Structure 1
Amino acid sequence: MPQAGSLPLILASASPRRLDLLAQVGVTPDSVHPAHVDESPLKDEQPAHLAERLAVAKATAVAEEHPQSLVLGADTVVAVGRRCLGKPDGEADARRMLKLLSGRRHKVIGGLCLVTPEGRPLARRITTSVAFKVLHPDEIETYISSGEWDGKAGAYAIQGRAGAFVRQIVGSYTNVVGLSLPETVGLLRGQGYGV
């Protein structure tokens, strides 16, 4: 729970995973206001830049409506080389993504931004390396039929059934879930928010 005198905290995301992660460290946002921003990559935009740009865009958009609050925005991009894998557009797209990730290493890049009441965005990028085992076609089809891929960057949720696909992870596990907790806690504490 926030300490007495802490500023209100607003989460600029509709992600239940991000709410769950914040709850793990005892943080309950005062309100949740998803930002509605165009998440399309810019021409030739690098995955790391995309993740940070979207996190800043989400947080600043919501901060304009809540100037006396701390506003936390986040975004997650799954990258295979320079290719960004966003949220799949249906089963065929999810299947394509999982086949691309099969037997390969990829990066999960988390963009994080906390906007202060003065309107100053404090942004971070967090990169986690994830290696998938070679996926059997039956595993892919079973995962597709589960529906767990829907709404997930890269078409998988590491905290769910896809955890069985992960051979190795280097970096922040919570970043892959959707919000790197060490950086988030550090940003909040830096602004006097009791964690």
Structure 2
Amino acid sequence: MIRLASTSETRAKLLQDTGIEFIQSPVDFDEEELLKVYKNPRDFVCAAARGKMEAAVEKYGLEIPIVAADTVVAVSDEILRKAKDEEEARKILQKQSGNKVDIITCMIYKDKEKTVEDLDVTSYIFAPFDEEDLQNYLKSGQWRGKAGACMVEGFCKKYIKEVLGRESTAMGLQVERLAEIAKDL
């Protein structure tokens, strides 16, 4: 049994599908301040995951091992955060259209004896997005709450020309790696 320090439905589904028993426990951590300090997406995502882990340990303790994670989307090392409105989502998605997009996840596992930090990158090469399709996606609102306004398991899926890495990383949790780390639980 592990504690997933996240409200992400996608991360919870990944754990369910992998057969890892968990309880989902939210943590309150504001990542936005980190953007002022960390410009490199890899540095940022690890700092955010560490912040979430610290908040989780403080709130819940380590009676149950904790997993915390953060994911960012980047194009040419520019961090693409969650869009605040439809116009910002359009601009973010246009940067991804026809480009290589890196989805970077830092996952941290912590129990009473060890801490394991895992940084992984999945890169997608996207074909150019169809304008009408993009407009429909924007109107649907499905981009809300998604890093880079991107849903590789949804809207972006049909535009994928090439994938370098694991889908689970792109979905926010390296469950294959977590299964190795937590195999004795």
**TM > 0.5 between the two?**
yes
Over 3 Å off, 4+ runs: none
Amino acid at match of 2:75: V
RMSD between aligned residues: 1.5
Q: Which residue of 2 aligns with 1:185?
A: 179
CA distance in 2, matches of 1:180, 1:20: 12
Of 157, 160, 163 in structure 1, the residue corresponding to residue 151 of structure 2 is: 157
Q: Which residue of 2 aligns with 1:49?
A: 43
- TM-score normalised by structure 2 residue count: 0.92
Does the CA-based 8 Å contact 1:56-1:121 persist in structure 2? no
Q: Which residue of 2 aligns with 1:19?
A: 12
Of 128, 136, 141 in structure 2, the residue corresponding to residue 147 of structure 1 is: 141
CA distance in 1, matches of 2:77, 2:150: 19
Overall identity of the aligned pairs, in %? 27
CA distance in 2, matches of 1:39, 1:18: 18
- TM-score normalised by structure 1 residue count: 0.87
Amino acid at match of 2:97: S
- Which residues of 2 match residues 133-144 of structure 1 at below 5 A? 133-144=127-138
Structure 2 SS opposite 1:65: helix
Amino acid at match of 1:43: V
- 1:19-74: per-residue Cα shift (whole Å, max 9, x none)? 00001111131x22212112122335310111111112112211122222201101
CA distance in 2, matches of 1:43, 1:180: 26
Structure 2 SS opposite 1:24: helix
Q: Which residue of 1 aligns with 2:52?
A: 58
Amino acid at match of 1:52: C
Does the CA-based 8 Å contact 1:60-1:115 persist in structure 2? no
CA distance in 2, matches of 1:96, 1:45: 19
Amino acid at match of 2:67: L
Residue 9 of structure 1 pairs with residue 2 of structure 2? yes
Q: Which residue of 2 aligns with 1:117?
A: 112
CA distance in 2, matches of 1:80, 1:110: 14
Does the CA-based 8 Å contact 2:83-2:149 persist in structure 1? yes
Q: Which residue of 1 aligns with 2:77?
A: 82
Does the CA-based 8 Å contact 2:121-2:165 persist in structure 1? yes
- 1:146-167: per-residue Cα shift (whole Å, max 9, x none)? 2111111110111123211211
Q: Which residue of 2 aligns with 1:32?
A: 24
Q: Which residue of 2 aligns with 1:4?
A: none
CA distance in 2, matches of 1:83, 1:71: 29
CA distance in 2, matches of 1:48, 1:128: 12
State the shift of 1:145 in Å: 1.3
